[in-house]
Structure formats: C-alpha cells, structure tokens
Amino acid sequence: MIKVGEKLPDVTFNVPTSEGTKPMTTSDVFGGKTVALFAVPGAFTPTCSARHLPSFRDKVAEFKAKGVDTIACTAVNDHFVMGAWARDQGVFEDIVMLADGSGEFARAVGLDADFSKFGMGPRSKRYSMIVKDGVVSQLNVEEGGEYKVSSAEYLLDQLS
C-alpha cells in the first residue's frame, strides 16, 4: 500500500466532463497542485451516494480556502458510470471524476479490494488522501464497511 511521502504511480484515467471523456494522466491531475482525493467502492452505492460524495460536494469552498486546488473522486467504474454519477450528484463543476475502469490505479497504489462476495468484483477500498505535486501527504484508509476517516470533514481537519 502506498504511504505518506511516496509519489503516486503514473496511470491514465478516463475523466468524464460536460464536453465528453478526456484521458488524463496522474501527472495531469496531480502535478503542481494540492489535491484532495477520495476513493469509493462504487458509484451509486448507498454510502458513496448518500454520504461520501456529498461530504466533499458540500465542503468545496472549505477545501479551496485551505489551499486545495482540486477535489477528485476515483472508483473502479467506467467513465460512463462516473459521468452519470457526476450528473446525478451535480458535481461536474466541482469534483474531477477519475474513472479507474480496470482498477489499474487502485492496484498500483495497493488500495484495491475484492468485493466479489457482494457481487461487485474487484474494486477500490474507501479512502481519502491529500496529494501535493503528486506526493501523498495524508492518507486515511477505512476498515472494511466503515465510513469515518475518509470523509471530507476528517480530511479538512488534517489541513488545519
């Protein structure tokens, strides 16, 4: 698993935007910026849609005030699903949706998980991190089934 002080691996995400899908590398998203990244096991799943994504959507101004340039969400879902979820949640303008359709990023950072027992297959663990110029400065990984340390509120407290 990636650790604080380590650089994110170079992968390419398919990023849904209001103009269509745009391929973006890790360097494109994280290079030269402070990024609040959070990962969810799946778009449209109950905790992810009712609590996790909304916690970041509702705190955009607070993240910006604390020096965060970009808020990004990643999930092992394709760009069509991530785009539909962004539209459903009204976050196209505020949160960059990093579709990790084949789970390449989740595996590369060692935060992949097997959700087969729930009928979901390979996914990402639920976590949040602060990334400064591609280097992890904070990392909060949830225990299975929990939603505590990956919330926007928890991550904002770490920026104080």
Q: Is position 37 within any domain?
A: yes
Domain that holds residue 119: 12-158
Q: How far, in Å, CA of 146 to CA of 47, rounded?
A: 9
- Reported as a single tens digit per residue, the pLDDT across 3-49 is 999 999 999 999 999 889 999 999 999 999 999 999 999 899 878 88
Q: Catalytic residue at 48? A: yes
Q: Which of the four pLDDT bands, split at 50, 70 and 90, describes residue 121?
A: low
Does the pLDDT value for residue 124 go beyond 80?
yes
Does the pLDDT value for residue 81 go beyond 90?
yes
Q: Is position 133 within any domain?
A: yes
Which of these is catalytic: 48, 53, 82, 139? 48
Q: Is position 93 within any domain?
A: yes
Longest Cα–Cα distance in the chain? 41
The domain spanning residue 36 has which CATH number?
3.40.30.10
Identify the three-state secondary structure at position 132. Answer: strand
What percent of the chain is predicted at pLDDT more than 90?
A: 79
Q: From residue 108, give the alpha-carbon distance in Å to each of 86, 96, 100, 104, 114.
A: 24, 20, 11, 6, 15
Q: Is position 61 within any domain?
A: yes
Question: What predicted TM-score, i.e. pTM, was given to this entire model?
Answer: 0.94
Please report the pLDDT score of residue 45 as a whole number. Answer: 83
Q: How far, in Å, CA of 16 to CA of 13, rounded?
A: 9
- Reported as a single tens digit per residue, the pLDDT across 61-79 is 999 999 999 999 999 999 9
Does the pLDDT value for residue 102 go beyond 80?
yes
Q: Is position 34 within any domain?
A: yes
Please report the pLDDT score of residue 104 as a whole number. Answer: 97
Of the candidates 145, 143, 142, 140, the residue with the CA atom closest to the CA atom of residue 117: 145
Does the pLDDT value for residue 58 go beyond 90?
yes
What's the number of domains the chain is made of? Answer: 1
Q: Is position 3 within any domain?
A: no
Q: Is position 106 within any domain?
A: yes
Q: Is position 5 within any domain?
A: no
